[in-house]
Amino acid sequence: MNVLLTGAFGNVGTSAIGELLKQGHRVRCFDLKTKPNEKKALKYGDRIEVVWGDLRNPDDVAAAVCDQDVVVHLAFIIPKLSATGFESEDRPDWAREINVGGTRNLIAAMQALPHPPRLIFSSSYHVYGQTHDQPPPRTVCDPVDPIEHYACHKVECEQMVRESGLEWAILRFAAVLPLSLRLDPGMYDVPPDNRMEYVHTRDVGLAVANAVSSDEIWGRLWLIGGGPRCQYTYREILQKILGSMGVGMLPEEVFTTVPFPTDWIDTAESQRVLQYQQRDLDDYVQELTKLMGVKRHLIRLFRPIVRAFLLRRSPYLRARRNPDWQGKVAVVTGASSGIGEAIARKFSREGLRVVLVARSRERLEHVAKQLRALGGEALVIVADLTQEEERLQVFEEVRTAYGSVDVLVNNAGFGWYGFGAEMPWSLAWQMLQINVAAVVRLTLLFLEDMKAHGRGHVINVGSIASSLPAQGIALYSATKSFVESFTTSLYRELRDTGVRISLVKPGAVATEFFKKASAQLAALRMPGGELNVKPETVADRVWKLLKRPARVAYVPRLLSLVAWVEPFFGWLIDRLGPLLLRRQRKLAPVRVRNRPGRS
């Protein structure tokens, strides 16, 4: 058969390629053209066909699916470290474009063919949510209750597959650990007594290959796990893996106590049909040990240093060492995504109670659900901060719920890119209300209470644009300059009061900011979105400000040098700026632009 694998050079994909080739199938691999993927593709030579592309591009997808008998859809942005270094939970909008949007493009391309291929969709047992209050095992009939963006995307895609009109099968995988030495920072997010079913990546590859040729799998949901001999607690899995590496089991204090969405599953039917369960965790440990080679001896030699490093990486151990912040109340505006969501997650993980403020109830409730699932406390307040009455509503609701606030993070804001004279007044007014008026109003409201209690910390999220006014962001730069001046003045007023105020000045951050700034009415495409730091980096810096207060913090720290750019190189920006804007004008599609008095 002609078989297309999406995400072919990932963990499961590489295992599936080998098994499909053994069974004589003609394999077409669809994946992003990156150096690691190109290196993996070279190992197969002319035994496979490679189509490089992006799931978000319908033309790429259409080229990949033609002349195929079966499509195995594996490509998905996962909750922890992916090949690109990002996580589905860090950038949910970006991940959704690939996970849900990519699946939609794939289904549409298949439906458009005269003879559509069959579709095997890879899902996950994460869709069941937290199930440790229920007796195992999970079955195909159990209801889903996803708590992560990743699992929500899987559930949405499963529904699309069922309604596609295609011949389909859905495989929900258990824990497929990669044969890799990369440290997963999510290793601390599972309590040691959590039930977890392991399945070897090569067994999953075999299950996929056998499914391609099976007549029984279509129109049904299947659970793919290692079987009863691969049903462990997380503690047992770690003991085997860390023991083989020479590190030894870590103390219980470094792990969360909140149940994680993994469990044991019923794989009797999938094993009967697909006959794939051949390996167990001991086989994985042996392969991992072989992969480590001489590094294993070095780890044993420097075992105390390695263990100390791993202990420092645990957010839960750090939280226990910061009891002063346990139970404190933090208000975060713009908390439904991006930097605000990352800050809320960080605060919750460190033991603070978090008030989430934004306009989208659906997105806020999703974030709150995740924080609560991880053992945190979250209050949702839906508010449009352009409106004075809703700013007051935020203050009153927080005061009613908690009495006083320990931390206020003014993060809500938005941008617009283009010639200042062409900015619609409606958008300019909104920017002034959110970026300036809301910051001032909320700061002054909460400062009064903080001063009365003699404690508290206000953190305003600014931008490096306040130090470097540039073409295309005239009003945005001005609003952030105002916030910087406002913060600096208050910082000097609040000396010796017990109340702190700080400004965070990030550069480009890997959020939807650049996309949204370019999508606003009559805006041009905003450059710079490719050079960014993760929202979690900003969140970590905000957390450090609470422990070691300072007037201003740059993210990354190197941006502190930008203050010297404008005095010495402003003349160059004066000359290059207009050229860049005019270039964007030529590249931009023709749009109707608002004129003064007609916005």
The pLDDT value recorded for residue 175 is 95
Instruction: Please indicate whether residue 519 or residue 429 has the higher confidence score (pLDDT).
Output: 429
Asked if the structure places residue 304 within a domain, the reply is: no
What value does the mean pLDDT take over residues 127-143? 96
Check whether residue 446 and residue 583 sit in a common domain. yes
Asked if the structure places residue 256 within a domain, the reply is: no
What does pLDDT average to over the chain?
88
* Count of domains forming the chain: 2
222, 247, 280 — which closes off a domain?
Answer: 280
User: For 100-123, how does the pLDDT look when each residue is reduced to its tens digit (9 = 90+)?
Assistant: 999 999 999 999 999 999 999 999
Asked if the structure places residue 516 within a domain, the reply is: yes
Asked if the structure places residue 514 within a domain, the reply is: yes
- Give backbone dihedrals phi and psi of 266, rounded to 5 degrees, phi first: -90, 110
User: For 223-268, how does the pLDDT look when each residue is reduced to its tens digit (9 = 90+)?
Assistant: 999 999 999 999 999 999 999 888 999 999 999 888 999 999 999 9
Residue 561 has pLDDT above 60, yes or no: yes
Asked if the structure places residue 318 within a domain, the reply is: no
- DSSP-assigned letter for residue 502: E
C-alpha R_g of the chain: 26
Check whether residue 500 and residue 581 sit in a common domain. yes
Asked if the structure places residue 241 within a domain, the reply is: no
User: For 276-331, how does the pLDDT look when each residue is reduced to its tens digit (9 = 90+)?
Assistant: 999 999 999 999 999 888 888 888 889 999 999 999 888 888 666 666 788 899 99
190-193 — which CB contacts under 8 Å span 24+ positions? 190/234, 190/255, 190/256, 190/260, 190/262, 191/234, 191/255, 191/256, 191/257, 191/258, 191/259, 191/260, 192/233, 192/234, 192/235, 192/238, 192/252, 192/255, 193/233, 193/234, 193/235
Check whether residue 450 and residue 526 sit in a common domain. yes
Distance of alpha carbon 387 from its chain centroid, rounded? 30
CATH of the domain at 372: 3.40.50.720
Check whether residue 225 and residue 340 sit in a common domain. no
Range of the domain at 404: 323-587
Q: Which two tokens stand for residue 478?
A: 């001005």
Check whether residue 489 and residue 580 sit in a common domain. yes
Q: DSSP assignment of 1-63, as one string?
A: -EEEEETTTSHHHHHHHHHHHHTT-EEEEEE---HHHHHHHHTTGGGEEEEE--TT-HHHHHH
Asked if the structure places residue 293 within a domain, the reply is: no
CA distances from 371 to 321, 341, 354, 365 (A): 20, 10, 9, 10
- Give backbone dihedrals phi and psi of 116, rounded to 5 degrees, phi first: -60, 140
Distance of alpha carbon 259 from its chain centroid, rounded? 20
Check whether residue 267 and residue 348 sit in a common domain. no
Distance of alpha carbon 593 from its chain centroid, rounded? 35
Taking the CA of residue 3 as centre, how many other CA atoms within 13 Å lie in the half-sphere pointing to its CB? 28
Check whether residue 375 and residue 276 sit in a common domain. no
| 476 in catalytic set | yes
User: For 165-187, how does the pLDDT look when each residue is reduced to its tens digit (9 = 90+)?
Assistant: 999 999 999 999 988 767 777 88
Distance of alpha carbon 371 from its chain centroid, rounded? 14
Check whether residue 344 and residue 475 sit in a common domain. yes
* All residues at 6 or more sequence positions from 3 whose CB lies less than 8 Å from its CB, including other chains: 20, 25, 26, 27, 28, 68, 69, 70, 71, 72, 212
The pLDDT value recorded for residue 137 is 97
Check whether residue 339 and residue 269 sit in a common domain. no
Contact 354, 406 (CB under 8 A): no
User: For 336-389, how does the pLDDT look when each residue is reduced to its tens digit (9 = 90+)?
Assistant: 988 999 999 999 988 899 999 999 999 999 999 989 987 889 999 999 999 999
From 403-407, 421-425, 508-512, the region with the lowest mean pLDDT: 508-512
The pLDDT value recorded for residue 520 is 58
Contact 109, 63 (CB under 8 A): no
Q: Which two tokens stand for residue 572?
A: 């160059």
Contact 552, 505 (CB under 8 A): yes
249, 280, 311 — which closes off a domain?
Answer: 280
User: For 372-384, how does the pLDDT look when each residue is reduced to its tens digit (9 = 90+)?
Assistant: 987 889 999 999 9
Check whether residue 345 and residue 204 sit in a common domain. no
- Residues 341 and 338: their CA atoms lie apart, in Å, by 5
- What does the chain come to in residues? 599
3-state secondary structure of 571: helix
User: For 499-553, how does the pLDDT look when each residue is reduced to its tens digit (9 = 90+)?
Assistant: 999 999 998 886 665 555 555 555 455 555 445 788 888 999 999 999 899 999 9
Asked if the structure places residue 489 within a domain, the reply is: yes
Strands of the 378-382 sheet, one edge to the other: 378-382, 353-358, 329-333, 407-410, 456-461, 499-506, 552-555
Crossing angle for the helix pair 535-547 and 338-349, nearest 10 degrees? 50
Check whether residue 381 and residue 275 sit in a common domain. no
Helices (H), 403-495: 425-431, 438-453, 474-493
Q: Which two tokens stand for residue 553?
A: 């913090």
The pLDDT value recorded for residue 591 is 42
The pLDDT value recorded for residue 184 is 73
Check whether residue 274 and residue 373 sit in a common domain. no
> Per the residue annotation, which of 188, 276, 476, 554 is the catalytic one?
476
